[in-house]
Amino acid sequence: MQHIAIGERINSRKHKEIYELIRRHPLISKIDLLEQSQMTGSTLTRTLEELVGQGWLLEAGLGESTGGRRPILYQINPTAGYVFGLDISRMMSKLILCDLHMNRLDSSSWLMDATMTPAKLLDEIAVTVSSMLNKHAIAFDSVLGMGIGAVGPLDRLSGTILEPLYFQASGWRDVNVMVYLQEKLGFPIQLDNGANMAIIGESWSDRNRDYQHLLYVHLGVGIRSSMMSNGKVVYGAVDMEGSIGQMIIQTDGPRLGDHGNYGALETFASIHAIEQQAQSRLKQGRESSLRSQEVSPENINFTHLVQALQIQDPLTVEIFSQAATYFGIGLSNLLNILHPEKVILGGSLINCHPSFFHMATRVAIRNTYHYPTYQVVFSQGHLGEEALVTGAAISVINQLTEG
């Protein structure tokens, strides 16, 4: 079955422009479109009629009168197509099916344990896609495509996950997920790193504010980041998702495991870093409620630490405060270089306790060179852990009006 390329489904530049304007509003009148598009009245009328006739738009009633006839309101047709979003992460992978209004029609998730090899996961995804489409009576050719956000590093052009760290199952090296799933499913698949997909999701959720320069940082097992400038994701010569974590904070500092830079930010501010700090200090004889967990110091993990943080165990508070301070220093370096309008912080470490977010952002602001002239908005985002999978689905819809 030959599937139509996403960017060719709406084939006129004028059609794409009007569709994108309408997509950014729940409802919009022809008068507002005339002002925003700078088209002539006759060109706009013809374009709207053609988009309605092709099924991309719906006439959605009449707006309030401003003295003349009540204006026709337009919205995109949610059932003109469907998209899948897929999040491939170290702990959990998730698939969602959405219409063009981003209404979630179905979802499924997989625990990424030691049995979840690439072949097993991708085969189960293909089966689940077919099951979801049958369940909702959606034809395969109504699917625009699937966006995938995955742990990097990766090659997004070839659709290959390269050498990710910390997967429990074997085989997660040089996995061409794009080719594998396109052969199984027959519709377009696109791959990008998880941070890039997350910033697309968060930007879309906050589209009424129209921030043009965004920074997204996900702080968990590692540090994942992305940047958006002039409303577009910034790409480098290689996959940049893990680059912030390799920023050197202390030139004579330690190294996390057997990879990365010595004294890198990830060595001081990541789940693995705080686990190692706790284990080391307990072995040194430090007192802590962690000793009541009935596990040996070398087996203390993030779950134990979060529980101890909730009861304000002094040692645990010290470890998290130190990590938040180092992370704030790294964040200030980024602010001094990139000057985003808004910074979105997510991930398990950011969300484990309000104090972590507040301490990290205070340190960042205090070390920002142009403060208070330069004002930045800090946020924990609107979508939380759903940002990645939501952004993956939105990235497919975005292609309708690109090119």
Residues 88, 74 share a domain: no
Q: In what order do the strands lie in the sheet with 92-99?
A: 104-111, 92-99, 82-88, 143-150, 189-193
Dihedral sign, Cα of residue 300, residue 301, residue 304, residue 306: positive
Among residues of the chain, what percentage have pLDDT more than 90?
64
Position 137 in a domain: yes
Cβ atoms 360, 231 nearer than 8 A: no
- The verdict on 219 and 325 lying in the same domain is yes
Same domain, 241 and 374: yes
Q: Say yes or no: 267 and 330 in one domain.
A: yes
The model's pTM is 0.89
The amino acid that residue 235 corresponds to is Y
Residues near 160 by beta carbon (within 8 Å), at least 6 away in sequence: 154, 174, 175, 176, 177, 178, 191
The CB density around residue 246, as the number of other CB atoms within 10 Å, is: 15
* Total Cβ atoms within 10 A of residue 109: 13
317's tokens: 């508070």
Q: What is the pLDDT of residue 209?
A: 77
How far is it, in rounded angstroms, from Cα 218 to Cα 269? 11
Based on the domain organization, do 346 and 393 belong to the same domain?
no
Which residue carries 């043009």 as its tokens? 212
Residue 85, burial from CB neighbour count under 10 angstroms (0-12, 13-18, 19+): buried
The tokens 């497919």 sit on which residue?
A: 396
The SS3 of residue 192 is: strand
**Structure confidence by residue, pLDDT tens digits, 195-235:** 999 999 999 988 777 788 999 999 988 888 999 998 899 88
Same domain as 255, residue 149: no
Alpha carbon 42 to chain centroid distance? 40
Q: What are the Cα distances from residue 160, in Å, to 6, 149, 191, 194, 301?
A: 20, 11, 8, 13, 31
Nearest CA among 15, 142, 143, 26 for reference residue 76: 26
Cα angle 226, 229, 232 (rounded to 5 degrees) comes to: 80
∠ CA 168-259-157, nearest 5°, is 70
Segment 46-62 shows an average pLDDT of: 90
Q: Are residues 221 and 356 in the same domain?
A: yes
Give the pLDDT of residue 403. 66
CA distances from 355 to 48, 268, 269, 317 (A): 51, 17, 15, 10
Please say whether the dihedral angle defined by the alpha carbons of residues 40, 80, 197 and 27, taken in this order, is positive or negative.
Answer: positive
Question: Last residue of a domain, which of 61, 79, 97?
Answer: 79
What does the mean pLDDT of the chain come to? 90
| Amino acid 244: pLDDT | 86
**pLDDT tens profile 152-176:** 889 999 999 998 888 999 999 999 9
Residues 393 and 345 in one domain: no
In a domain, 1, yes or no: no
Same domain, 182 and 108: yes
- State the DSSP code for 38: -
Q: How many CA atoms lie within 13 A of 7 on its CB side?
A: 6
pLDDT digits (tens, 9 = 90+) for 6-52: 888 998 899 999 999 999 888 888 888 888 888 888 999 999 999 99
End of a domain among 63, 79, 95? 79
Q: CA-based angle 159:165:169, to the nearest 5?
A: 85
- Residue keyed to tokens 């491939």: 88
Residue 179: CATH number of its domain = 3.30.420.40
pLDDT exceeds cutoff 50 at 397: yes
Asked whether the bond before 153 is cis by omega within 30 degrees of 0, the reply is: yes
196 & 53 share domain: no
> Can you give the pLDDT at residue 41?
86
Q: Is residue 297, in this structure, part of any structural domain at all?
A: yes
Q: How far apart are CA 346 and CA 361, in angstroms?
A: 13
CATH number at residue 61: 1.10.10.10
d(CA 51, CA 4): 18
Same domain, 72 and 123: no
Same domain, residue pair 217 and 273: yes
> Which of 43, 62, 79 is at the close of a domain?
79
Q: How confident is the model at residue 2 (pLDDT cuts 50, 70, 90)?
A: low
Q: Which residues constitute the domain of residue 73?
A: 6-79
Considering its fold, how many domains does the chain have in total? 3
H/E run at residue 276: helix 271-283
